[in-house]
Amino acid sequence: MQQKTPETQFLQTPQLSVNLDVANRKLTFPDGAEFLMWVFHSDTSGRGFPGPTLRPKERDIFHARVEPSMGPHTIHWHGMEPDPRNDGVGHTSFEIEDHYTYQWQPEPGRAGNPNYGAAGTYFYHCHVNTTLHAQMGLLGPLVIDPVVLDGFPVAPGNRRAFADGPEYDIATESLIMMYSVDPRWHSLHHAAGLSGEDVGLNRFEPDHFYITGGLLNSRKEREGAVWAPTELPVNVKGNGKAPSLMRLLDGNYLPNKLYFLHEDGSPARIAELIAHDGRPYRHTTIPGAPAIPTSMLEDPRAHLLTHVVAMGAAERYDVLLRPPEAGTYRLRVEWNHWITGKTLGRRELKLIAS
Amino acid sequence: MLPETQPLTQEPVPGLPVVAADGREHTLNRASALKFGAAAGLGIAAAFAAVASPAAAAAPRRARGAALSMATPLPGVLDLYINEGYTKMVDDSLVYQRGFGDRPTALRDAKPSLRITPKVFTRDGSIVESRTYPLTAAPPPNGTPLPSGPDAANPGQFLIRRNYWASYFPQRTIIAETGSTVRIRVFNQLAGSHALTFAQAAHGRADITTGPIPPGGEAYLEFPAPYSGTYIYHDPTNAPVQRAMGLFGSLVVLDPQDAWSVAPGQAGFERQWLWVTHAICTTWTGIEAGGGTVDQDADPALPRYFMLNDRSGYEALGHSPNAALNKASHEESLVSGYPRQIDIRDFGEDLVLGTIRAGQMVRMVNAGIANHQIHFHGNHLWTVRRNNVEWPRDFGMVDEDGHVVLQQWEDVVELPPMDRKDCMIPMKRPPDATDQVWFNRTEDWKYPMHCHAEMSQTAAGGMYPGGLVAHWELKSSVNGG
């Protein structure tokens, strides 16, 4: 159902508010390939990919005013769970023809409680003809920062991954988003397939594979930019800083496999998985007892350390990187076929631990 | 226990060939016939006659489209017919499919029997046809369990009835109570060889299979109900091709004494849902319909339809012009209930007699061929089991494939082919709605569920959202309650 100017019910004063519009633009990717992309942009971000990083805090009222200038779109805040009107799905609420202000309030965390708290990694994407629109580039990173709880102070230069979670070093916090492009799709029109015509949207055959993202704190959003890292700095244990946090986001439609490797290609068990889909891993054995995050337990066996992470479309992992020694590590990403499992693409990123 | 094989000490009855669980072909003997008779309290002669009569149905290879007759049923034995036919897709096109049906039907049958109405193997040795389980529990109206009353301590929320509502199951479901024996005869009505396998249903997670059943042939399987959980039955011939042709279904094993838990003592629930995903590749169905054999390298799968419980798109969403189909979608697939306060540390908590602080259990099954990414809006789900192995609540690990083995919240549940996951939807207040919006709620809140491997959201190459979709509803006491 399309509505011109649906009303935001019980509108409150926001602590963070953003205007988002949609544009189409040719963008040049790190391998030199150029694609027509559809992107979200804010008043200040310029038209780049992925969309601008949004970073509300728990308990704060968030507003996003969306005025799509090119046909109806919506924004779904993937993993955030507001009421249906603010969930951004056409067939359970409305598609926006003119403008709408989304409003939601990330739930604050509580110490040791596995039932509360939104802090973590999310993303937003258009939910109109989603199969096409998300591949065309209508998505962007969304990070929810935690409230500060008594008993969980935060040192200067640090932040906590979630309210009762571990501290990390803000300067080396990164977002890594897997993305791939099927060039055929990038010549389709806004409503392709919606009238029942066969436009082959069941056939996703990417031949360009990208590790996008980079350091969150030093991202420069600007016109025409594709945000992608060449290498990433990572804190080594004992360098006097909190560990580096890597936020993994699967922004494509194929299963991915990520390997953390030493420079010689041998497995490096340096990735501690601390949260998934915006929710911390916790020990929840005893009813009524505090559910301590795995990353905060003293017992080293509780920590979910690995060198390999499997993830598929739209999943997120929050990873504390714990390289024991300075030097170069490698993050290898594989894209696998969603039916045969055959590896279709492989890309690597250098992690420089110091 | 290993699946039972038929003893061969007695003189064989001519006729009925039997393929035992070890894959060797046997012939049904008098001892087995006696056992069937005893199980069902029949007279020996009657039982023997019942077994012997299908001897005539040690059928000649039949021509396609020939009229068929049903075998004489055996008490306590479920008959499955491997049939073929055409089924209507969500875009109204007819697609060739195969399936395990309730009765023999011909290729051109207007209503081919390609999936069974759910059946329950009970502990007392009988088979009951029922879309709901437990058999004596009340079916929830339109699929929605009603609460026992408002939760005074939590405005806008409700207390949930403990061990009260039955659950609806989709077609293709076989339920076996723990302690029961699964007894199945399979009749291959088709021109090619097929098999029936219960994946990982034997001790040690081995498969239980008939082995190849020749055209016109039949086979018998008998095995004790495995450990509580969800299993896939399918035809592994040229895997996954025959499964993708439609030759699959689910076996759900439940403890009749603890029927509101996924396994005795494990996560309790208000009601449960069985979600079976499946993808149809019309290149493959075309080849097989023409009598060919799919070569997976030469003809790679390109699914064109994506189903949840055999429905796609607006039919899966209950928005079709067909009221009966919509009702079935609501009863079997479209998760719904009243909001409640729960603590995932304790699903069995009961503060008021006869109530439980628990959510609803979604048993996700991928009988198809594509990797699905099951995404819920509105609530995260708490995953408790994968492939009938309960995940720990502490001291988890990352397995060698890079998956975390620990009970956890997820808003996207990975579901690779042949995988089964048990996930609790808490049916809690959507956490990021403002207080004012929540406390002024006057209508049911409806949220989508879809697969995020977005190719699956299409039908016939477009038609978004025409594929593997559902929605779930948080009911309101004010309107629609």
Share of chain A above pLDDT 90, in %: 90
Q: Looking at this protein, which amino acid is placed at residue B324? A: A
Per-residue confidence (pLDDT) for residue B267, from 0 to 100: 84
Measure in Å the smallest separation between the Cα of B293 and chain A Cα atoms: 18
> Could you read off the pLDDT of A243-256 as tens digits, one per residue?
999 999 999 999 99
The reply to whether residue A276 touches residue B433, judged by beta carbons under 8 angstroms, is: no
Neighbours of A148 (CB within 10 A): 14
Nearest-Å Rg of the Cα atoms of chain A is 20
Residue B469 CA to chain centroid, in angstroms? 17
Q: Residue A17 corresponds to which tokens in the numbers above?
A: 């508010």
| Better pLDDT: A96 or A341 | A341
Per-residue confidence (pLDDT) for residue B62, from 0 to 100: 46
Mutation site for B-interface testing, chosen from A139, A203, A338 by largest number of B Cβ within 10 Å: A338
Given a cut of 70, whether residue B7 has pLDDT beyond it is no
Tell me whether 0.85 is exceeded by the ipTM: yes
Q: How many residues does chain B have?
A: 481
The residue range of the domain holding A27 is 2-353
- pLDDT tier, B37 (very low <50, low <70, confident <90, very high otherwise): very low
The DSSP code sequence of B135-191 is: TTSBPPGGG-PPPSEE-TTSTT-EEEESS-B-EE--TTEEEEETT-EEEEEEEE-SS
Q: Residue B236 corresponds to which tokens in the numbers above?
A: 């592994």
3-class DSSP string for B94-148: EEEEEEEECCCCCCCCCCCCCECCCEEECCCCCEEECCEECCCCECCHHHCCCCC
Measure in Å the smallest separation between the Cα of A51 and chain B Cα atoms: 19
Per-residue confidence (pLDDT) for residue B61, from 0 to 100: 42
B350 contact A CB<8A: no
Per-residue confidence (pLDDT) for residue B57, from 0 to 100: 35
Going by C-alpha positions, the residue among A339, A155, A353 that lies closest to residue A253 is A339
Tell me the angle at which helices B44-52 and B30-40 cross, rounded to the nearest 10 degrees. 120
Return the biggest CA–CA distance within chain A.
Answer: 60
> Could you read off the pLDDT of B448-463 as tens digits, one per residue?
999 999 999 999 999 9
Neighbours of A20 (CB within 10 A): 22
Size of interface A-B (CB pairs under 8 A): 241
Per-residue confidence (pLDDT) for residue A2, from 0 to 100: 76
The reply to whether residue A84 touches residue B446, judged by beta carbons under 8 angstroms, is: yes
| Better pLDDT: A291 or A238 | A291
Burial class (CB in 10 A: 0-12, 13-18, 19+), B227: middle
Say how many CA atoms lie within 13 Å of B229 toward its Cβ: 22
- pLDDT tier, B132 (very low <50, low <70, confident <90, very high otherwise): very high
- The average pLDDT across B403-419 equals 98
**CB A145, CB A56: distance < 8 Å:** yes
Going by C-alpha positions, the residue among B337, B335, B422, B380 that lies closest to residue B160 is B337
Residue A178 CA to chain centroid, in angstroms? 10
Share of chain A above pLDDT 70, in %: 100
Whole-prediction pTM value?
A: 0.91
Q: B436: nearest CA in chain A?
A: A10
Q: B341: nearest CA in chain A?
A: A115
Q: Is A121 helix (H, G, I), strand (E, B) or coil?
A: strand
Measure in Å the smallest separation between the Cα of B152 and chain A Cα atoms: 20
Contacts of B396 in chain A (CB under 8 A): 281, 294, 304
The reply to whether residue B454 touches residue A204, judged by beta carbons under 8 angstroms, is: yes
Q: Residue A172 corresponds to which tokens in the numbers above?
A: 């080396």
Given a cut of 50, whether residue B5 has pLDDT beyond it is no
d(Cα B342, Cα A291) in Å, to the nearest integer?
A: 15
Per-residue confidence (pLDDT) for residue B264, from 0 to 100: 84
Given a cut of 80, whether residue B409 has pLDDT beyond it is yes
B342 contact A CB<8A: yes
- pLDDT tier, B345 (very low <50, low <70, confident <90, very high otherwise): very high
* H or E stretch at A33: none
Mutation site for A-interface testing, chosen from B343, B399, B437 by largest number of A Cβ within 10 Å: B437
The reply to whether residue B433 touches residue A202, judged by beta carbons under 8 angstroms, is: no
B458 contact A CB<8A: yes
Contacts of B441 in chain A (CB under 8 A): 83
- pLDDT tier, B266 (very low <50, low <70, confident <90, very high otherwise): confident
Given a cut of 80, whether residue B50 has pLDDT beyond it is no
Given a cut of 50, whether residue A109 has pLDDT beyond it is yes
| Better pLDDT: B349 or A219 | A219
Mean pLDDT of chain B: 87
Point out the residue among B301, B434, B471 whose CB comes nearest to the CB of A103: B434
Contacts of B445 in chain A (CB under 8 A): 83-84
Q: Residue A79 corresponds to which tokens in the numbers above?
A: 């993993």
Per-residue confidence (pLDDT) for residue B478, from 0 to 100: 60
Per-residue confidence (pLDDT) for residue A95, from 0 to 100: 81
Kindly provide the b/e burial profile for residues A115-147, where b requires at least 16 CB atoms within 10 angstroms of the residue's own CB: bebbbbbbbbbbbbbbbbbbbbbbbbbbbbbbb
Nearest-Å Rg of the Cα atoms of chain B is 23
d(Cα A302, Cα A305) in Å, to the nearest integer?
A: 9
Name the one residue in this structure whose structure tokens are 């609803």.
Answer: B360
Q: Is B316 helix (H, G, I), strand (E, B) or coil?
A: helix
Contacts of B447 in chain A (CB under 8 A): 84, 87, 89, 92
Name the one residue in this structure whose structure tokens are 């042939």.
Answer: B217
Going by C-alpha positions, the residue among A209, A210, A82 that lies closest to residue A142 is A82
The reply to whether residue B346 touches residue A257, judged by beta carbons under 8 angstroms, is: no
Point out the residue among B303, B343, B397 whose CB comes nearest to the CB of A202: B303
Contacts of B412 in chain A (CB under 8 A): 277, 312-315
Tally of structural domains, chain A: 1
Beta pairing partners, A334: A257, A346
Q: A279: nearest CA in chain B?
A: B409
User: Which of A99-113, A195-209, B59-73, B225-239 is least confident?
Assistant: B59-73
Point out the residue among A115, A279, A301 whose CB comes nearest to the CB of B343: A115
Sign, Cα dihedral of A165, A171, A176, A177: positive
The reply to whether residue B346 touches residue A288, judged by beta carbons under 8 angstroms, is: yes
**CB A217, CB A173: distance < 8 Å:** yes
Measure in Å the smallest separation between the Cα of A72 and chain B Cα atoms: 15
Given a cut of 80, whether residue A273 has pLDDT beyond it is yes
Point out the residue among A82, A285, A339 whose CB comes nearest to the CB of B393: A285
The reply to whether residue B404 touches residue A114, judged by beta carbons under 8 angstroms, is: no
- The average pLDDT across B336-361 equals 89
Contacts of A339 in chain B (CB under 8 A): 300-301, 303, 369-371
Contacts of A91 in chain B (CB under 8 A): 317, 448, 465
Q: Cα-flanking dihedrals φ and ψ of residue A254, to 5°?
A: -110, 155
Q: Is B256 helix (H, G, I), strand (E, B) or coil?
A: helix
**CB B91, CB B459: distance < 8 Å:** yes
The reply to whether residue B460 touches residue A196, judged by beta carbons under 8 angstroms, is: yes
**CB B210, CB B221: distance < 8 Å:** yes
Residue B454 CA to chain centroid, in angstroms? 23
B349 contact A CB<8A: yes
The reply to whether residue A196 touches residue B409, judged by beta carbons under 8 angstroms, is: no
d(Cα B243, Cα B318) in Å, to the nearest integer?
A: 26
Residue B7: partners with Cβ closer than 8 Å, 6 or more residues away: B29, B31, B32
Contacts of B91 in chain A (CB under 8 A): 196
Measure in Å the smallest separation between the Cα of A4 and chain B Cα atoms: 21
Beta pairing partners, B18: B26
Contacts of A253 in chain B (CB under 8 A): 452-455
- pLDDT tier, A1 (very low <50, low <70, confident <90, very high otherwise): low
What dihedral angle (degrees, nearest 10) is formed by the CA atoms of A107, A110, A112, A118?
20
Name the one residue in this structure whose structure tokens are 């020694």.
Answer: A325
CA distances from B337 to B78, B231, B233, B334, B428 (A): 34, 26, 30, 10, 10
Given a cut of 60, whether residue A298 has pLDDT beyond it is yes
**CB B406, CB B351: distance < 8 Å:** no
The DSSP code sequence of A312-333 is: -TT-EEEEEE--SSSEEEEEEE
Q: A267: nearest CA in chain B?
A: B400
Measure in Å the smallest separation between the Cα of B306 and chain A Cα atoms: 10
Q: Which residues 408-427 in chain B show a CB within 8 A of chain A?
A: 408-412, 414, 416
Measure in Å the smallest separation between the Cα of B105 and chain A Cα atoms: 31
**CB B374, CB B365: distance < 8 Å:** no
Point out the residue among B375, B396, B455 whose CB comes nearest to the CB of A131: B455
d(Cα B381, Cα B362) in Å, to the nearest integer?
A: 9
Q: CATH no. for residue A315? A: 2.60.40.420
B59: left (phi over 0), alpha (psi -120 to 50) or beta: beta
3-class DSSP string for A8-31: CCCCCCCCEEEEEEEEEEEEECCC
3-class DSSP string for A182-240: CHHHHHCCCCCCCCCCCCCCCCCCCCEEEEEEEECCCCCCCCCCECCCCEEEECCCCCC
Domains by residue range for chain B, with CATH: 127-170+263-474 (2.60.40.420)
